[in-house]
Structure 1
Amino acid sequence: MGTGKRWLLTAAVTVVCAVTVLAVPGTAFAAPAPPPSPGTTASVTVVADKDLEAVRKKLEKLYRAAAVATDEYNAADEKAQQQSAQVVRLAKKIVEGREKLDELKALAGAAAAAQYRGGGLPPEARLMLSEDPQEFLDGAGRVRQGQHATKGLLGEMTRTQQDLEQYAQDARAQMKRLEAGRKAKAEAQKKIEKKIAAAEKLESELEQEERERLARLEQQAADEAQAGWLGSGILDEMGGEATEQGRKAVAYATAQIGKPYQWGAEGPKTYDCSGLTSQAWISAGRSMPRTSQAQWEQLTRVDVTDMRPGDLVIYFDDASHVGMYVGDGTIVHAPRPGRTVTLAGAGSMPILGVVRPDAEEN
């Protein structure tokens, strides 16, 4: 796609995003205010805008903190699921081990009973009393086999008992880790709910007209960041084509546009940021880390100039947000509580880096 077409598409996306923000259902726009008269009116408006800018930054900080806590929650949840599955596997091994030990004890008991029925004499003594040479030779072989079998039986019983003890020890350790993971998950949930409640309270204290101006300030900040990013000529350096799996992931992610953000959600009705990107790639046949931080740590990193559709753009220094690049300087992402899955400028937030789930594909 030529540079001119890219700029036109980017401009169109910017307009669509702006219209989406301003056309929230139920939003009523106030009539244009008359020009301010000389004196205090203009200064009051300026102060109000400054106050709203402070509110915008505070909201951004609260929702960022909620995003970090959401990553902590998702990571703890994933770990708890893995630990729980491990406990189940160990419990199954313990049951199987006990059943095996019972069988081995039964065999040992049968052997002891057979010896008792033979008059209490060991097989070697009974053999020495035999008067038939051939019987003696045949019996000698059976005695050696019996001795080996007895040793093998006792050895297997000992190993099974040791395995049982190890399984029980591992299960106890895994249960402790599981309990610690559940506590971490609960603590992360409290953080999320606290930050979101504070943000919602702050927004609820604004008048309708102030909320509208706040939305415009948010969009203005995003547009300015995107314009600065595009102004570097970054799009002229990009030209990578999506792989087949990348196209499938993009198709899945963009099909979710309009669905609400919900922390900890992986679809199909609601998503958080990493829930959207991970499920998009899982739908394309790729296993994926659950959180944005794990995606940043575990997936192959590529230069921003090499970005292609399907790549994941990781945001902020703490990797607390992620979106999927769809081409022409645009991402699809699940922004934050109170918002829906939407398109946005790839440079509208501070980029930490780019990762590629299908790095081995050319």
Structure 2
Amino acid sequence: MPALASHRKPRTPRPHATAFGVTTAALASVTLLSGQSASAAPAAPAAPARPTVEEIRQKVDELYRQAGAATQEYNRAKEATDRQRREVDRILDDVARRTEAVNASRRALGSYAAAQYRAGAVGPTATLIFADSPQDYFDQTHLLDRLSARQHTAVAAYEAQRAAAAKQRARAARGLTELTASQKALGDSKRNVQRKLAEARTLLARLTAQEKARLAELERRREAEARRKAEERAKVEAAARAAAEAERERRERTRPAPTPDPATPPPSGASYEAKAAEAIAFARAQIGKPYVWGATGPNSYDCSGLTQAAWRAAGVDLPRTTWDQVEAGSRVTTAGLLPGDLVFFYDDISHVGLYIGDGKMIHAPKPGAYVREESIYSMPIHGGVRPA
């Protein structure tokens, strides 16, 4: 037994076998990890970040501005619709009158034709024979000649009236087509305004109590900044008025008294200042009335409806929309604004107010607000217009 044992060699581990075992284990680990990664559920997408109060305020302001522009589109479409409806009604009334004239001409033609038929049923010889006297024969012949001349005139009138009536009916048809298109544009503008306002209300309704408080604070800061700018403007205007008054008094002291001329009539006609005062007085009387888009008074107004009504009270007719009102007078710079001037806002000229001096205006701001005095610096100024 010992001899046999001496021929046995001790078993030693083989290096390549060890390496194979490590590699296999590593591959198994990688495969396991890969399988786990593949079978794991994908991560849920991150929720979109909630907008800040500042971003919400900017979005709401933009929606109100867009609603203001859509309101002007509505006003323009409504004005066109009303104008076309009046024109169509006028044409239809004219068509009815012309149709009655055509019918009257037709009845006249019928009476002439009946008279001619009755007279033509008896020949000239028989007419002479059956006449009571030669004079009666000549009277009947003369009557037939006159009937024939009148018939020709009636035929010509009938043809002219029928052609005119047909022309007016064609105009009425075109007018009705245009009216239908205007009514569609009016409906589209109305829905656009309502959509913008609903979106703004939805954004505001989603605010938490803390966010609402933050939004109110931002509004207070913006209003305070606008008031500060208006106060600075008021000081400048007060200094300018004082300087102008001092200069006027100086000139009055140094100017010789004028000799009255009885042949020279007193000046007539209201000055711009007087008309502006009337417009401002009217606008001031509307303070507290609600903004309603498309409204022109007397119980509610939109921005251009208020300025139009105010200047109408002073005897000046302004167009309906801000886009037309900005062209209805002479342009003035912001520094050159006088009480009564119109102040327009935003690049799209979608808002207007009535300047009352000292950097302030009276305007109908937006849905949910009321006619009020406010600094002209509460919105981006586009420019000013002097309407009279």
Specify which of 268, 289, 293 is matched with residue 263 of structure 1: 293
Q: CA deviation at 1:151?
A: 4.0
Give every structure 1 segment of 4 or more consecutive aligned residues whose post-TM-superposition deviation is greater than 6 Å: 229-234, 236-239
Question: Are the counterparts in 1 of residues 230 and 358 from structure 2 also a CA contact under 8 Å?
Answer: no
1:204: which partner in 2? 205
Distance in 2 separating the partners of 1:152 and 1:328: 75
Q: CA deviation at 1:247?
A: 1.8
Structure 1 residues 166, 356: CA separation in 2 closer, same or farther (over 3 Å shift)?
farther
Structure 1 residues 198, 98: CA separation in 2 closer, same or farther (over 3 Å shift)?
same
Distance in 2 separating the partners of 1:279 and 1:167: 36
Q: TM-score, normalised to structure 1's length?
A: 0.72
1:170: which partner in 2? 171
Alignment of 1:218-297 (within 5 A): 218-224=219-225, 235=237, 242-297=272-327
Question: Are the counterparts in 2 of residues 222 and 349 from structure 1 also a CA contact under 8 Å?
Answer: no
- Look up the equivalent residue of 1:164 and give its one-letter code: A
1:341: which partner in 2? 371
CA displacement 1:233-258 (0-9 Å, x = unmatched): 9747788x843332222111111112
Specify which of 324, 327, 331 is matched with residue 302 of structure 1: 331
Structure 1 residues 122, 281: CA separation in 2 closer, same or farther (over 3 Å shift)?
farther
SS in structure 1 at match of 2:344: strand
Distance in 1 separating the partners of 2:68 and 2:150: 63
Distance in 1 separating the partners of 2:158 and 2:291: 56
SS in structure 2 at match of 1:259: coil
Q: CA deviation at 1:64?
A: 0.6
Q: TM-score, normalised to structure 2's length?
A: 0.68
Structure 1 residues 352, 116: CA separation in 2 closer, same or farther (over 3 Å shift)?
same
Question: Are the counterparts in 2 of residues 315 and 353 from structure 1 also a CA contact under 8 Å?
Answer: yes
Alignment of 1:1-362 (within 5 A): 51-119=52-120, 143=145, 149-224=150-225, 235=237, 242-297=272-327, 299-304=328-333, 305-357=335-387, 359=388
Residue ranges of structure 1 left out of the alignment (5+ in a row) = 1-47
Q: CA deviation at 1:229?
A: 7.8
Question: Are the counterparts in 2 of residues 259 and 270 from structure 1 also a CA contact under 8 Å?
Answer: yes
Q: CA deviation at 1:219?
A: 4.2
Give the number of the structure whose alpha-carbon radius of gyration is greater.
2
Residue ranges of structure 2 left out of the alignment (5+ in a row) = 1-49, 245-270
SS in structure 2 at match of 1:313: strand
Structure 1 residues 75, 176: CA separation in 2 closer, same or farther (over 3 Å shift)?
same
CA displacement 1:263-308 (0-9 Å, x = unmatched): 11222222111111112222333332111112123x0132124432
Q: CA deviation at 1:205?
A: 1.9
Structure 1 residues 335, 156: CA separation in 2 closer, same or farther (over 3 Å shift)?
same
CA RMSD of aligned residues (A): 3.3
Q: Give the count of matched residue pairs.
A: 300
Question: Are the counterparts in 1 of residues 230 and 360 from structure 2 also a CA contact under 8 Å?
Answer: no
| RCO higher in structure (CA 8 A, sep ≥6) | 1
Q: CA deviation at 1:230?
A: 7.5
- Look up the equivalent residue of 2:168 and give its one-letter code: Y
Question: Are the counterparts in 2 of residues 87 and 171 from structure 1 also a CA contact under 8 Å?
Answer: yes
Distance in 2 separating the partners of 1:176 and 1:313: 37
SS in structure 2 at match of 1:326: strand
Q: Percent identity?
A: 36
- Look up the equivalent residue of 2:358 and give its one-letter code: D
Question: Are the counterparts in 2 of residues 242 and 309 from structure 1 also a CA contact under 8 Å?
Answer: no
1:7: which partner in 2? none
Structure 1 residues 81, 62: CA separation in 2 closer, same or farther (over 3 Å shift)?
same
Distance in 2 separating the partners of 1:206 and 1:249: 40
Question: Are the counterparts in 1 of residues 345 and 352 from structure 2 also a CA contact under 8 Å?
Answer: yes
- Look up the equivalent residue of 2:357 and give its one-letter code: G
